[in-house]
Chains A and B, each alone.
Chain A
Amino acid sequence: MADPEITIDGVPTRVRAGTSVAVAVLAAGVRAFRRSVGGSARAPLCGMGTCFECRLTIDGVAHRRSCQIECREGMRIETGDHYEGGDHDEGSVELGGASEDSWSLQTEILVVGAGPAGVAAAVRAAEAGKNVILVDDNAATGGQIWRATRRSDAALRTPTRKSHWLERLDESGARVITGTTVVSCDGPHSLRADREEGTVDLRCETLVVATGARERMLPFPGWTEPGVVGIGGLQALLKSGLDISGQRVAFVGSGPLMLAVAAAVREAAGHVVAMAEQASFGRVFRLGVGLWRHPAKLAQLTGMKRRIAHRVRYGEQPLRVERATDALRLFTTDGSRERSVDADWVATGFGLVPCTRLAQLLGFAKASDARVRVDAMQRIVGAESSFAAGECTGVGGVDVALLEGEVAGLAAAGREDLARKLLGPLRRERRFGDALERAFALDPSLRSRVGADTIVCRCEDVQLADLETRSSMRDAKLQARCGMGPCQGRVCGSALEFIRGWTPDRVRSPLFPVKMRRL
């Protein structure tokens, strides 16, 4: 694959093959990708296509999620994401007729989401002799934890388990379609997906939902500054080609993901200058002690910890981020003492939230459900014969996701006999996942880290003070526009669920913004 030449605001530059547009723009030294509704500078946050902060105009089309798009030869990228009067496809005649492709695909088993769970489900179902289609929004398979690594990332070791499963996927006969986003459905046997060239209508006998989880962001003063990214977001950017060598990263948030990404930063020759974990040392220590039951995990976690030069501070919460001359300054507190550290990146995230929106649209989950509920065979509760697996059914880590995927794939293919054999190992792996959740549960005092003038809804620049008199997420949406932007409440909804205890508003189609003619 040749390294493409692109232009960024008219300036030509050559990037490594496989680099995402977001990473290319960051590497070009652009700090502000676009301006928010209120005029403040914005840059990538989640790195995985759910926050919509990385939007750029690409080849004349506005509002495109640059973190999800790979650079291609001749691509024209413009920052500022301003409206240019619609689609500027030069040379294409638009007089109301469809000037786009559309595909109609039929299969026995459709798996939505190609992270570990989706891959395992697709493999098992295909190996059991079924016709399988595996579809994913990202440019390549792997979801988030196995996000496509690039050849320059020798330092970021490719887990052998990942290559094993991806090879098996290649050989299984399952048809894999990436860069394709499910946007709407007409029941579980008929889904519509969107890709750059047009629309894909997917018909199936059996559906497996493996839509994963996204990071929970909690607002604090200054969190909208360019350079403040998610922890998973930073991992995604690294895997999409970001060169972080010599740059300083400060972590503030919660969860084992922090350790993993800090290790990745070090391996990529970055400097970890702070790690602020909100969980108390006591809770995490108890998890460590309990890990004697899971020796492999113990090795994994302590192995990770050893590679990190800097000490983790427990019981530490974010106070604010300020922009210093050539850096971001992160202020944190342990309740009595305030600290500050300078960094090029502040990586923040407070655990993972299952992505249930497709399940909701199908009528298989409510907005108030924390996860998609399934039975022992991964059959969705309340659905006749649809399945779900992986983080969307509850955050449990990659081992749980793989086993759940296998069970779902086998059960969907009518091989419950084989699926049953995996239930024992699955139960054991789930215990570890549950222990993790307990250890890293969010401290209620984090709620007070949001200031009155802290932006809570980034899409619409809604501050906490604007929500003072609001009684519910729906009320906040109708009266203060909170959740009305492109991310449709993914970021602010999860934050307010924790801060105010508000149930997110009902999901509506399309699940992701889509060109009107493709609805």
Chain B
Amino acid sequence: MRRTSEVVVVGAGIVGAACARALARAGFEVLVVDETVPGGGTTAAGMGHVVVMDDSDAQMRLTSLGRELWHQLLSELDAASTARAEVDRAGTLWVAEDEADLQVVRDKYAYYSEHGVRAEILDENALKDAEPELRDGLPGALRVPDDLVVYAPSVVDVLMRDAIADGARFELARATRVVPRRVELEGERAIEAEHVVNAAGEGALALLDATARDGIAVRRRKGQLAITDRYPGFARHQLVELGYLKSAHGDAKASVAFNLQPRKTGQMLLGSSREFEARGSEIDGGLLQSMIARAECFMPRIASLQVLRCWAGFRVATSDNLPLIGPVASDEGLLLACGHEGLGITTSLSTAELLAARLRGEEAPIDNRPYLPSRFAQSSS
């Protein structure tokens, strides 16, 4: 059985939903397919931290644009949606452990300021005031006040609702293969379209034929999280140690970094860990304990909080830590929107904006070349 649509988006996670909304708003006829409820996959496993990151200029631009679009989106939400999205304009504190870290803080401050991102350096006392549960002796931190925290699955619900209001449709279906202008589904069905957007996250690359995958290699990085019962006020900002950057952008087989998020409910969400070559989504007790021990280094009393639940999710990382946004092999019939590692939430909206501009034939809001899948192409076209 064949059907047609102008655009088919495979994947209704935060990236797919953002693309669906942007494209439907631009007047395209959009069909979104996903094998599970929208926002029910990796999006539900992540932290919902909207954060500007400086691993590279390209990452800075993409996260910056993403964050700007987030502020715009959130300003459009009604009170009920804002409450459900658990929006918290908490800001991020990049915490320094020692003098070397403090120098990194100063460099970061300079870089952020150059790029128009508001930031502030806190000294030891200011840091203790801002976060009383942090241990004594931490020399300072970089505060980024415009970063924020959202509950992503709920935002996906909002994005899909908007997309559907603009004429998009959603179908619960499992894609088995995508090629330019066609999506094959389980049960020998297929959908034909002018453009296919592959936003299938963890499963995205497996849907592609070998030729489309040309040169693109991704690795799955498993992450574990733990969420506590309600302890309002225990932390006020998203707290990230500077070592997080080493963990996120590095190559170690397994690493942990202190990353704590206070949720609007008063629960504390603790991460982070990264593990290559992990098999399944069962919790690795040893790595979890390392993550907790690392957190205790910064916040001694955190380990006394009651944990309700632990879970794991998979980030998809390319070799240069930038996502894949754009056509495969210069064929506009198949576009990728995946490979976002730990920045899927932040850059979902900027990803959607880049793709929408492309399909509308407009100029991209930022230089889109660093994210093009063709940057990995090995065969000459």
Contacts and interface: CB of A to CB of B under 8 A. Distances in A.
Interface of A: 37, 62-63, 83, 85-87, 94-96, 184, 186, 192, 471-472, 474-475, 478-479, 484-486, 488, 508-510, 513-517, 519
B9 to A, nearest CB: 19
A478 B270 CA distance: 18
A87 B302 CA distance: 9
A513 B234 contact: no
B304 A517 contact: yes
Contacts of A474: 36-37, 40
Interface string B121-141: 000000000000101000000
B306 A515 contact: yes
Given A186-B285, A510-B310, A486 B229 contact: yes
B310 A478 contact: no
Interface string B37-50: 10110001000000
Contact of B310 (A86, A471, A509): A509
Interface in B1-54: 36-37, 39-40, 44
Contact of A519 (B36, B37, B153, B289): B289
A96 B308 contact: no
Contact of B309 (A63, A85, A192, A488): A488
Given A186-B285, A479-B154, A509-B283, A516 B306 contact: yes
B234 A86 contact: yes
B366 interface: no
B308 A519 contact: no
B310 A508 contact: yes
Contacts of B293: 96
Contacts of B308: 484-486, 488, 510, 513
Given A479-B153, A517-B296, A83 B233 contact: yes
A243 B137 CA distance: 54
Contacts of A516: 226, 228, 270, 292, 302-307
B120 to A, nearest CB: 26
A488 B227 CA distance: 12
B230 interface: yes
Contacts of A192: 285
B232 A96 contact: no
B37 A478 contact: yes
Contacts of B297: 96
A515 B303 contact: yes
B369 interface: no
A85 B234 contact: yes
B292 A83 contact: no
Given A63-B229, A186-B285, 8 more contacts: A86-B304, A96-B293, A192-B285, A478-B37, A479-B153, A508-B310, A516-B304, A517-B292
Nearest to B153: A478
A465 to B, nearest CB: 13
B288 interface: yes
A52 to B, nearest CB: 9
Contacts of A515: 303-307
